[in-house]
Structure formats: structure tokens, C-alpha cells
A and B are shown apart, each in its own frame.
Chain A
Amino acid sequence: DTEVTQTPKHLVMGMTNKKSLKCEQHMGHRAMYWYKQKAKKPPELMFVYSYEKLSINESVPSRFSPECPNSSLLNLHLHALQPEDSALYLCASSQGTKGKNEQYFGPGTRLTVT
């Protein structure tokens, strides 16, 4: 099973709202990723967690706050977003640097900021 699940599928939020995106995998993967994808563009890396520690932050604005409560779960907390943050947010996982390379993506959360 190579399934990564994400909730919700769609989210509409105002610029003053606080919301969270959730991601889960049960493949025993130790690396988890958040990507942002705009239409007709490749996924753009935001954060990487390795063994539940934040290992890469691609200079993402602080209005995006990641959290990795355990090895299976990854959250992205959203606060005071801007309309230009509207995008498809993808979660992915892989075994990590010490394991196989394959990275698997979830279906994404389509976020609209009004």
C-alpha cells in the first residue's frame, strides 16, 4: 500500500481565518513533505520533516506553520493567508535518506483564500 491521505479535499478560508491541513501515511516512512503547487507548475517544496524533526524549510512565510505530531502524521497550520496562497497543497512521504528513494504523494488539498 502506497497511500498518503489528505484532509480536507477542498478548503475556502478568509484572510483572517485559522485552519489546518492534515496528512497521514502508514507506510512506515520517516520523511514527510509539504509542497505547494500552482496551476501548470511543478510542485514547489515548502517543508521536509525527517524522523519527526524539521530538516528543510524553503524560506516559507511564517503564516504557514508545519507540525509533525508523530511519524505517521503531518499538519500544516494556516493563519492570515493572502489570496496568492491559493493553490493545491500536496503532502508526500518517503522512507528517508537511509531507505528507498520512492516518494509518494497524497491527492492534495485545494485551498482558496478569499
Chain B
Amino acid sequence: GENVEQHPSTLSVQEGDSAVIKCTYSDSASNYFPWYKQELGKGPQLIIDIRSNVGEKKDQRIAVTLNKTAKHFSLHITETQPEDSAVYFCAARKYNFNKFYFGSGTKLNVKP
């Protein structure tokens, strides 16, 4: 099966700084990579995703990059704000398969 590893497990940044969270995956058949943000007491919220035919995708202050050869993908948050503080999960899914494999999560703390 697929194995997704996520680093770091915790990340503290100053407001306005950038934050980067990295994930690696093991199965080259994985072709869809979403990122979720989970605030305390809530369900995970899909914030950005990328498919294997694309190298980078941006949405305002967040971006995701994918390196298929190295089997890793990263979440980049620029100009961080206190409301970005949450747990972030990466995931991977194979084509035509209804199962998502999650990373272990990164707790991001943005200090005002």
C-alpha cells in the first residue's frame, strides 16, 4: 500500500513569515495530493490540491508543489496570519481508487 510521511510534526513561525510543510509518498501510482487544514473541534477542510500532471498550484497565500520523480510534495503558506494556526494534513490517492492515505499531521503555530 501507500505510505505518506509528513514533516515537521510541529512548526512555529512569526506572523508574516512563510511556512513550509513537506510530505513524501511511496507509491508511484498515486496521482492526487490534497492538503487539509483542521482547526480545533472541526473536521478537516480541503484547502488546496494538486494532480500529478501539474508541478505547482497557487491560491492566494497558499501554494503546493509536486516533484513526481522524488515523490514529494510541499505546502507553502506565505505572509502567515494567526488564523493560519491549525493542524495540516497531506494525503495521497491513487487513480481509480477510493482510498486516501494521510500524513501524520503538522501543528502550525503562528505567533502574533
Contacts and interface: CB of A to CB of B under 8 A. Distances in A.
Contact of B98 (A2, A42, A97, A107): A97
A108 interface: yes
A41 B46 contact: no
Given A41-B105, A43-B102, A56-B98, A107 B49 contact: no
Do most interface residues of chain A lie in helix, strand or loop, or is the interface mixed? strand
A103 B32 CA distance: 11
A105 B45 contact: yes
A45 interface: yes
B3 to A, nearest CB: 13
Interface in A26-43: 31, 33, 40-43
Interface string A67-93: 000000000000000000000001000
Interface in B58-103: 87, 89, 93, 96-100, 102-103
B44 A40 contact: no
Contacts of B42: 107-108
Given A43-B102, A55-B98, 20 more contacts: A2-B46, A4-B43, A6-B43, A40-B107, A41-B105, A42-B103, A48-B98, A48-B99, A97-B98, A101-B34, A101-B49, A101-B51, A103-B46, A103-B100, A104-B46, A105-B36, A105-B43, A106-B43, A107-B42, A110-B41
Interface of A: 2, 4, 6, 31, 33, 40-43, 45, 48, 50, 55-56, 90, 94, 96-97, 101-108, 110
Q: Which 6 A-B pairs have the closest CB atoms?
A: A42-B102, A105-B43, A101-B32, A97-B96, A107-B43, A105-B44
